[in-house]
Amino acid sequence: MTAFRLGLTGSIGMGKSTTAAMFADHGLAVWDADAAVHRLYARDGAAFAAIAALCPKAATPQGISRPALKDWIATDATALPAIEAIVHPLVAQDREAFAAKTGSDIAVFDIPLLFEKGTEAQMDATLLVTAPPALQRARVLARPGMTPAQFDLIVSRQMPDAKKRARASHIVETLSLDQTRAYVTALIAHIRQNHA
């Protein structure tokens, strides 16, 4: 049986990780794009040697240093495309390996750049996690070390929420944990009823 593929996305501070955990609480298999990148950047990870060759300063005994990559990206316009050319195909391989071995009837793919990278084409449905702008800003600025300037920069690099809303098959506003949990439960039931 092939699992139903649900792409989960949302901009920073919208509650995506919390929502992903709710799907896991229901026993569904959840694949996390950020966690996949961490595995690839580990000392024994598939991306380590190639990234280290591109940016030797980023290579550490623990793996690839993300802060060192950020510094490089900030000063060299060719850095990000070069990194993405290595990492994106490996992330896609990791995602497909996960999909092939999952025993879950619904597989959830937590992908921050789902729409930006066109990955929604590989999903059966998409769920956008969203929240009002003021709530999003308050959540992110409550994080340690986050500044308003950093927040504005991150948001400027992400697809506007309105555009994501227009493309998503399902949308949940994360105003409260109970409300979001109830939505997740209902969506799982809906998928099982309509795609069994």
Decide if 36 contacts 91 (C-beta within 8 A): yes
| Claim to verify: residue 59 and residue 87 sit in the same structural domain | yes
Sign of the alpha-carbon torsion through 181, 182, 184, 188: positive
167's tokens: 């493309």
CATH number for the domain harbouring residue 186: 3.40.50.300
Domain boundary among 103, 132, 152: 103
| Claim to verify: residue 112 and residue 193 sit in the same structural domain | yes
Decide if 157 contacts 70 (C-beta within 8 A): no
Q: How many domains does the chain have?
A: 2
| Claim to verify: residue 180 and residue 130 sit in the same structural domain | yes
pLDDT digits 0-9 by tens, 132-167: 999 999 999 999 988 998 898 888 878 999 999 999
Largest CA distance in the chain: 52
Percent of the chain at pLDDT exceeding 70: 99
User: Pairing relation of β-strands 29-32 and 106-110?
Assistant: parallel
The C-alpha atoms of residue 18 and residue 56 are separated, in whole angstroms, by 35
Task: Give the confidence band of 196 by pLDDT, cuts at 50, 70, 90.
Answer: low
The whole-model pTM stands at 0.88
Decide if 11 contacts 161 (C-beta within 8 A): yes
- Give the range of the structural domain holding residue 176, as residue numbers without chain letter: 1-28+106-196
